[in-house]
Structure 1
Amino acid sequence: MRWLVQWLVTACILLAMSSLLNGIEVASLGAALLASFLLSILNLVVKPILVILTLPVTILTLGLFLLVINGATLYLTAAIMGDAFVLSNFVMALFAALLISIANLFIQDSLQAVKK
């Protein structure tokens, strides 16, 4: 249930960012859903490998390098998706990853509050 909510919220965030920001383009709702699904798969498979490989840098930056890793997985998602999901540059991927992380944080807090 939680994964499904995060998947849908991430797709909605991608759609909202594409209409608000110039550096992000999402072709359709289906493309946003597919990008969100692909991002969740990459976060499941690729992100742990990147976290382990960059552990010294992550420790030195007190965890802030995890934002770069999130941006890299989002940028990789855009590269795999092609014209359906486009990020203009890596800085836009970092910004989008930050917004997605903040939104998912609020959603997780809301879901935990509902359970109590």
Structure 2
Amino acid sequence: MKLIIRLLISTLAILVAANIIPGVQVVDTTTAIILAIVLGILNTFLKPVLQILALPITILTLGLFYFVINVFIIFFAEYLVQGFSVDGFIPALLFGLVVSVVSGILGMFLD
């Protein structure tokens, strides 16, 4: 049950971010649900590998390279999900930040 609620929270965060940030388009709610699933899978399996591989450059940039990894994950999700598009690096960066903040705020009510 908790997994379904987390999925709904992520979907709501994606819809909020897509409506706030110019340059990010999500066609409909079904696309947002699929995008939430894809982002969850990518963040679970691909992101830790990328963070380990990019550890030296992350240390050199004092942790700012984690944002670049997050943007890469969003662009990869854009490639995988039809109906989701991001127009550039800055909209993808802002999309990741807004989704994280909104999911975090809504997730606080889950615990």
Supply the distance in 2 between the matched residues of 1:64 and 1:2 (Cα, whole angstroms). 31
Residue equivalent to 1:87: 86
Residue equivalent to 1:106: 105
Supply the distance in 2 between the matched residues of 1:13 and 1:105 (Cα, whole angstroms). 9
Q: Structure 1, unaligned stretches of length 5 or more? A: none
Range with bigger deviation, 53-62 or 102-111 = 102-111
Name segments (4+ residues, structure 1) moved above 6 Å.
none
Give how far 1:10 is off: 1.9
Letter in 2 for 1:40: G
If asked which structure has higher relative contact order (CA below 8 Å, sep 6+), I would say 2
Give the 3 Å change call, closer, same or farther, for CA 6–61 of structure 1 in structure 2: farther
Counting aligned pairs with the same residue, the percent is 32
Give how far 1:70 is off: 1.4
Give how far 1:2 is off: 4.5
Q: Structure 2, unaligned stretches of length 5 or more? A: none
Residue equivalent to 1:63: 63
The SS at the match of 1:4 is helix
**1:24 matches 2:27:** no
Counting matched residue pairs gives 111
The SS at the match of 1:86 is strand
Greater helix percent: which structure? 1
Supply the distance in 2 between the matched residues of 1:110 and 1:59 (Cα, whole angstroms). 34
Supply the distance in 1 between the matched residues of 2:71 and 2:4 (Cα, whole angstroms). 21
Residue equivalent to 2:76: 76
TM-score by length of 1: 0.82
Supply the distance in 1 between the matched residues of 2:19 and 2:36 (Cα, whole angstroms). 16
Give the 3 Å change call, closer, same or farther, for CA 100–19 of structure 1 in structure 2: closer
Supply the distance in 2 between the matched residues of 1:46 and 1:101 (Cα, whole angstroms). 17
Q: CA RMSD in A?
A: 1.8
